[in-house]
């Protein structure tokens, strides 16, 4: 045992003396796995009762996706993380929804299967590992877009008046009218038909027959509009300011974690911070980093931010895993910096999307007529279920942003 320890120490010291990079900290953000639709359209032949656990719930395929992602993460960070779960090394934070909490648990089952000594029931290759959350109405970190911000609502109003939005609406007017008639919706707009695509996509993936009007061309056009709704949420128009009011909050938290890990006087033992959240969370962060590819992040997609140390200097590397069929995630580069970006340069380049006083930046003169406009936008962009939940956030959000994140 002692000789093995000496060899490990020697190899570690040798790698540092030769200038090899040493991983110091990892931030992991992933989307939940495959699920049932969050809602559907009036004429859909499939209702909530047709899904085993109802709308918006993690499927067995989603559980499998995250179990495999957990195995990938453990393989990638073998030697950095302990093979056995260590509460001091990893912390998991989830939004307070079944599908994200269950995804995190399935992910951890893939990362840390217990060895024989850790099994509390012989043969059971699972152990309980804590996943932390806060009530959705108080979640200021992961539940994007945050709708407590009048200025953000104003920016979304202005986005709808922009040339690109108006042109997209004009070019798809006949298509949207067809979708409205076939689905039984009262209205159909370029930023609201995403949930029609989502319902059809989930139904097809789960072996359900689609209506005759849903041709491959219709699905492709719905996909284009769905992706556009993600692009305008935090970008296209006034991207930097939208990011300051949204994804910049999460980016700021991640930068604080990187800075703490790089502090030579730190006593921090934490090596990995994991966030289990949503497609909109990944988009919000990637727009703030200016690396969003314009496409909805797929189920179980994962954005990695790594802190490395080399010869006393720290650098940041980013990777995006949105395809489980490839062995390595795609490298991402912060615009204006190399793929291995010096930490201080990383902080400098992202400074403009970090809010200094979000409460103040969110305030505008709000006319009484704006209130109904906000509610209607919530329904169109988030859907009825999520918009109702977000509408209940206002009071808690005011308390949340008066405290450190």
Annotated active-site residue 279? The verdict is yes
Q: What is the mean pLDDT of residues 280-284?
A: 98
Q: 333: burial class by Cβ within 10 Å (0-12, 13-18, 19+)?
A: middle
Residue 86 tokens read as: 């260590």
Of 95-104, 174-183, 373-382, the range with the lowest mean pLDDT is 373-382
Tell me the fold of 20-145+241-353.
Rossmann fold (3.40.50)
Pairwise CA distance, residues 299 & 38, whole Å: 14
**Burial (CB count within 10 angstroms: exposed 0-12, middle 13-18, buried 19+), residue 394:** exposed
Q: Which of 1-15, 185-199, 308-322, 333-347 has the lowest mean pLDDT?
A: 1-15
* Nearby residues of 37 by Cβ (< 8 Å), 6 or more positions away: 51, 55, 56, 195, 198, 199, 202, 203
Instruction: Read off the pTM.
Output: 0.87
List the catalytic residue out of 50, 96, 227, 279: 279
- Exactly one of 32, 66, 278, 303 is catalytic; which is it? 32
Locate 227 and state its tokens. Answer: 């992706």
> Is residue 396 over pLDDT 50?
no
Which helix (DSSP H) or strand (DSSP E) does residue 102 occupy? Answer: helix 98-111
Query: Does 204 have pLDDT greater than 60?
Result: yes
227 carries an active-site annotation: no
Q: What pLDDT is stored for residue 380 in this prediction?
A: 57
Name the helix (H) or strand (E) containing 349.
helix 343-349
Give percent helix, percent strand, percent coil of the chain, each to the nearest 5.
Answer: 45, 10, 40
DSSP E strands in 36-162: the ranges are 90-94
Q: Which of these ranges, 100-114, 248-262, 272-286, 373-387, has the smallest mean pLDDT?
A: 373-387
What is the pLDDT at residue 401?
42
Tokens of residue 25, six digits: 């900290």
Percent of the chain with pLDDT over 70: 85
Residues 23-56 pLDDT 10s = 999 999 999 999 999 999 999 999 999 999 999 9
The superfamily CATH assigns to domain 150-238+357-400 is: Phosphoglycerate mutase-like (3.40.50.1240)
| Alpha helix segments (H runs only) across 145-189 | 150-160, 163-171, 173-183
Encoding tokens for residue 230?
């993600």
Q: Is the peptide bond before 145 cis (omega within 30 degrees of 0)?
A: yes
Length of the chain: 405
Tell me the two tokens of residue 129.
Answer: 């590992």
Residue 361 pLDDT level (bands cut at 50, 70, 90): very high
pLDDT in tens, 295-310: 999 999 999 999 999 9
Q: How far apart are CA 74 and CA 307, in angstroms?
A: 17
Pick from 264, 238, 281, 231: nearest CA to 30: 281
Question: In which residue ranges of the chain is CATH 3.40.50.1240 found?
Answer: 20-145+241-353, 150-238+357-400
pLDDT in tens, 376-390: 555 555 666 655 554
């Amino acid at each position: 045992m002692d000789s093995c320890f000496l060899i490990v120490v020697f190899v570690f010291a040798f790698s540092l003396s030769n200038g090899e990079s040493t991983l110091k900290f990892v931030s992991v953000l992933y989307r939940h796995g495959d699920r049932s639709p969050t809602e559907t359209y009036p004429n859909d032949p499939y209702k909530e009762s047709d899904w085993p656990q109802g709308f918006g719930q993690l499927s067995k395929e989603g559980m499998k996706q995250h179990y495999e992602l957990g195995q990938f993460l453990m393989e990638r960070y073998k030697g950095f993380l302990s093979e056995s779960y260590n509460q001091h090394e990893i912390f998991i934070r989830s939004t307070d929804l079944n599908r994200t909490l269950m995804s995190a648990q399935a992910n951890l089952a893939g990362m840390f299967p217990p060895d024989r000594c850790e099994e509390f029931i012989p043969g059971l290759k699972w152990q309980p590992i804590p996943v932390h959350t806060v009530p959705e109405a108080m979640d200021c970190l992961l539940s994007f877009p945050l709708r407590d911000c009048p200025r953000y609502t104003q920016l979304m109003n202005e986005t709808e008046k922009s040339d690109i939005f108006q042109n997209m609406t004009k070019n798809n007017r006949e298509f949207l009218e067809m979708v409205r008639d076939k689905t039984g919706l009262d209205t159909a707009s370029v930023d609201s038909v995403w949930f029609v695509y989502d319902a059809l996509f989930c139904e097809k993936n789960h072996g359900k027959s689609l209506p005759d009007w849903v041709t491959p061309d219709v699905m492709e056009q719905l996909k284009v509009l769905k992706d556009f709704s993600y692009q305008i949420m935090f970008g296209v128009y006034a991207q930097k300011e939208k990011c300051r009011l949204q994804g910049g909050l999460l980016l700021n938290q991640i930068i604080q974690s990187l800075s703490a890990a790089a502090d030579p006087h730190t006593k921090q033992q934490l090596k990995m911070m994991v966030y289990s959240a949503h497609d909109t969370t990944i988009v919000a962060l990637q727009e703030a980093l200016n690396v969003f590819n314009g496409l909805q992040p797929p189920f179980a997609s994962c954005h990695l931010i790594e802190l490395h140390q080399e010869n006393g200097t720290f650098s940041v590397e980013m990777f995006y895993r949105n395809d489980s069929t490839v062995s390595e995630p795609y490298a991402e580069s912060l615009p204006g910096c190399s793929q291995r970006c010096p930490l201080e340069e990383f902080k400098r380049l992202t400074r403009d999307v970090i809010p200094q006083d979000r409460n103040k930046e969110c305030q505008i003169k709000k006319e009484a007529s704006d209130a109904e406009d906000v509610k209607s936008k919530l329904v169109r962009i988030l859907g009825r279920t999520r918009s109702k939940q977000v509408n209940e956030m206002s009071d808690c959000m005011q308390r949340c942003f008066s405290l450190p994140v």
